[in-house]
Amino acid sequence: MSKTLDFYFDFYSPFGYLASLQIDELAAKHGREAIWRPTLLGPAFKAMGQTTMLEIPMLGDYAMHDFDRYARMQNVPVKVPKKMPNHALPAARAFYYINEDEPALAKKLAKKVFHEIFNQGRDGSKPELLADVAEELGIDSAALLTAIAQTDVKQRLFDEVDKAMARGVFGSPMIFVDDEPFWGNDRLEQVDLWLQRGGW
Amino acid sequence: MSKTLDFYFDFYSPFGYLASLQIDELAAKHGREAIWRPTLLGPAFKAMGQTTMLEIPMLGDYAMHDFDRYARMQNVPVKVPKKMPNHALPAARAFYYINEDEPALAKKLAKKVFHEIFNQGRDGSKPELLADVAEELGIDSAALLTAIAQTDVKQRLFDEVDKAMARGVFGSPMIFVDDEPFWGNDRLEQVDLWLQRGGW
């Protein structure tokens, strides 16, 4: 598969999690590979003068209700972490560090991180979660934790966040089919149709 | 049909317009009647510390792009008014004034108002639009404009807005199936499934 699509997400995005369970299959159906691009939404929210959906009165309560209902509809068991929103900084840094040489492994790591956060309800801001996931994948967790504390590894994530911002990523998930942006797990059907028809 | 569902919308909501073209048919499919409930989102946005989507950097541009794409997908020709967002105060007042005695006529009026705003791109904040639509429906427009300037008619709309707020209406469209809220044109498929299954 030479063609790709871009899958932007924040590890703390409930709807990003739901989309992550479908995006690879959806891309493959159309002969594409989904390139996973974890980002941090903090800078985008700042530019928008926004907080996360969950922190907004009325909308926040609805959004979690909507998420639970969506997950039940898709038969996806979910357990939301106690502290929401939050930042999965260690995992996001580790993703790009590993991705440089081993993109397939980085994607596996991302899937497991998502699973720990939204299926197990674990705290994704803690290095312990990353360490456990790394060990499961046969990665030396102590070496990984040391690596992600280095300035250049930290900077790499910030560069990716800047690039996502420059591309107009303001939410999670956001999928780009070539230059066409789709925001939300609820746009996956349109992504499917867009790929099938080549746009409309 | 004894059962109903509630369709809340703001006349200046692009996605409310798209939903308005489908909601009656969707309700009827399940033996229900859609009760149309125009509201003003200003007070809800104030409580949320929000502006409308369209005014938010990054998100605003995307939202209009998404709307155009959605409309094209559904083969709905649209022409967005120059001034967005705005308030269709005359139409919203007229709706509840007429609705008291003639709900079917009020719904017809609402459909025509939506059409003028999002199909013709007309300014829905102006009484001229309401007057034109009223005349088309055989309503004395001068009498209607006099009626909606009365304090009790103005108050009736505000009471409806308060009730919508109290029910948790924070966006447009919002559909309530019994007490289950669904936000967005993109949740109509879930509304359909919810009605079919009786929830999940």
Rounded-to-integer distance, Cα A111 and Cα A168, Å: 24
pLDDT in tens, B39-71: 999 888 887 878 787 888 888 899 999 999 999
Among A193, A187, A156, A190, which Cα is nearest to A174's? Answer: A187
Residue B10 above 60 pLDDT?
A: yes
Chain A contact present for B173, CB below 8 A: no
User: Do B113 and B90 form a contact (C-beta atoms < 8 A)?
Assistant: no
Rounded-to-integer distance, Cα A110 and Cα A104, Å: 10
Q: CB count, 10 Å around CB of A82?
A: 9
Nearest to B62 among A49, A70, A181 (CB): A181
Chain B contact present for A57, CB below 8 A: yes
User: Do B38 and B92 form a contact (C-beta atoms < 8 A)?
Assistant: yes
Q: Return the residue matching tokens 């790499």.
A: A156
List for chain B the helix, strand, coil content (%; round to 5): 55, 10, 30
Confidence of residue A55 (pLDDT cuts 50, 70, 90): confident
Q: Does B66 sit within 8 Å of A57, measured CB to CB?
A: no
CA distance A122 to chain B (A): 26
B interface mutation test: which of A59, A167, A180, A196 has the most B CBs within 10 A? A59
Q: What is the DSSP letter of A105?
A: H
- pTM for the whole thing? 0.94
Range name among A24-28, A152-156, B85-89 with the lowest pLDDT average: B85-89
Rounded-to-integer distance, Cα A194 and Cα A30, Å: 10
pLDDT in tens, B104-138: 999 999 999 999 999 999 999 999 999 999 999 99
Confidence of residue A162 (pLDDT cuts 50, 70, 90): very high
CA angle B15, B2, B38 (to 5 degrees): 30
CA distance B138 to chain A (A): 40
| Rounded percentage of chain B residues whose pLDDT exceeds 70 | 99
Among A169, A176, A183, which Cα is nearest to A47's? Answer: A169
- Amino acid, single-letter form, for residue B115: H
